[in-house]
Amino acid sequence: MKNIRLEIFKKASLCRNFENELYKKVQDKIIKFPVYLSAGQEFIASSIAVKMQELNISPDIFIQHRGHSTYLAFGGDIYSLIDEMLGRKSGCANGMGGSASIQCKEKNIYGHDGLMGNQVPIGVGACFASKTPTVIFVGDSAAEEDYSLSSIGWASTKKLPILFIVEDNNLSILTEKKVRRNWEMHDVATGMKVKSYDIKDDPMEIYDHLKNSFNEPILLNINTVRKFWHAGAGTDGENFDRYKEEMNFFGKEGREIDEYNNKLVLGAWKKQLEKQ
Ligand SMILES: Cc1ncc(C[n+]2csc(CCOP(=O)(O)OP(=O)(O)O)c2C)c(N)n1
Ligand SMILES: [Mg+2]
C-alpha cells in the first residue's frame, strides 16, 4: 500500500509544482488571462489516475475549469500545457482554450466550453454511445445544474460505466454550499440509485473507493480544499494542505520528490520561454 500512496504523491507533486510556478507567472503578469489553479485539489485526479493505471484502463475524461491537475495526472504533455498558458498555437487547445478549456486528445481528455456543468450531459451522452469507461469531473456548484442532475439519472437508468467525481471545495466562486443548497450530491445520486459516497480527498480513501469502478455508475463526492483564489494568483491565507501532510509522511523521500518535480517544472518553463 505504501507504494501506491507514493505513486499518487509523485503525480500530485508534479501538479503542485506546476501550479506553484503558474501562480508566479500570473503574479509576474507573464499570463494575463484568467487562470484557475487546482492546487490543494491535486490528490483527487492523482489517486484516480494511479488506479486507472493499475486497472490498465484509459477512460474518456471530461473536465471543467481547474483541470490542470487532471490533465497532468493523466499524462497530458507539460510542454503543450505551458504553451497553452502562453496562448501559443502549439498549446494543448491550440492556444484558444486558455486555462479553463484545456484538453488532451492523446489521453482522451475532453476540454470544457465554460457553460458550468455541461460536461456531465456531454460525458453521459458520449458514454451512452461508446459504453467505454468514462470519468466525469464536476465542481460542487456545476453539479447543481439541472442538466447535470438529470443526466446522472440517465446514467443510472442505463447503468453506464461512469465514475462521477464531484470536486467539492465547498465553493462556487466565493459562495459556500450552505448558502446555495440544503442537500448533498451523494444523497441526490443515491436517490437516483447511483452508488454514492461522501469522502475526503485522502489519497488512500479515494483509491479504496475505486474498486468497483465501471461495473455501474458510481459517484464520489470528494471534499477538498482550494488553496488559491477562484481565478488568478491570490490566497485568503493558510488553510489545510494535504500536500504538506503527504510530503511529511514520506519524510526525506517526499522532499526529494518535491524537489525533483520543482526542477522538472522550472526546466520545462525555461525551455518553452526560450523558444519565443
Ligand atoms: C451555466 C453557468 N453559470 C454560471 C457560470 C459562472 N461560473 C463560472 S465558474 C463558477 C463556479 C464554479 O464552481 P464549481 O463548479 O464548484 O467549481 P470550482 O470553481 O469550485 O472548482 C460559476 C458560477 C458559468 N460559467 N456557467
Ligand atoms: Mg466548487
Q: How far is the CA of 66 from the centre of ligand 1 (A)?
A: 10
Say what the pLDDT of residue 37 is: 98
Hey, what's the cell of 92? Answer: 494543448
CATH, residue 24: 3.40.50.970
Ligand 1 mutation pick, 35, 99, 115, 116, max ligand atoms within 8 A of CB: 116
At residue 134, does pLDDT exceed 80? yes
63 Cβ contact partners less than 8 Å away, ≥ 6 residues apart: 70, 71, 102, 109, 110, 111, 112, 119, 137
> How many percent of the chain have pLDDT more than 90?
98
Nine-digit cell string for 1:
500500500
Could you list which residues have their CB under 5 Å from ion ligand 2?
139-141, 169, 171
Residue 256: band (very low, low, confident or very high) from pLDDT cuts 50, 70, 90: very high
CA 31 to ligand 2 center in whole angstroms: 23
DSSP state of 213: T
Confidence of residue 2 (pLDDT cuts 50, 70, 90): low
pLDDT value of residue 91: 98
User: Mean pLDDT across the stretch 143-172?
Assistant: 98
Mean pLDDT of all residues in 269-275? 97
Rounded Cα distance, 56 and 44, in Å: 18
Helix or strand (DSSP H, E) at 196:
strand 195-200
pLDDT at 97 over 80: yes
The Cα 248–Cα 239 span in angstroms is 16
Does any ligand 1 atom lie closer than 6 A to the CB of residue 114?
yes
Per the structure block, which three cell numbers stand in for 245?
501532510
Name the β-bridge partners of 166.
Answer: 138, 221
* Strand (E) or helix (H) holding 113: none
Distance CA 205, CA 197 (A): 11
* Angle CA 107–110–113, to nearest 5: 155
Query: In which element (H, E) is residue 219 found?
Result: strand 218-223
> Is the pLDDT confidence value at 227 over 60?
yes
**Ligand 1: residue whose CA is nearest its atom 18:** 139
> For a pLDDT cut of 70, what percent of the chain falls above it?
99
Which H or E run includes 138?
strand 134-139
What pLDDT does 111 receive?
97
Angle between helix 242-274 and 2-27 (nearest 10):
50
66 lines ligand 1 (CB under 6 A): yes
Measured CA to CA, the distance from residue 192 to residue 156 in angstroms comes to: 7
pLDDT value, residue 1: 57
Domains identified in the chain, total number: 1
Indicate the burial class of 203 (C-beta count within 10 angstroms; 0-12, 13-18, 19 or more).
Answer: buried
Q: What is the mean pLDDT of the chain?
A: 97
The reply to whether ligand 1 has any atom less than 6 angstroms from the CB of 217 is no
Tell me the C-alpha distance between 229 and 231, whole Å. Answer: 5
| Residue 219: domain span | 2-274
Instruction: Point out the ligand 1 atom lying closest to the alpha carbon of residue 143.
Output: 15
pLDDT (tens digit per residue) in 45-89:
999 999 999 999 999 999 999 999 999 999 999 999 999 999 999
Q: What is the mean pLDDT of residues 82-105?
A: 98
Q: What global pTM score does this model have?
A: 0.98
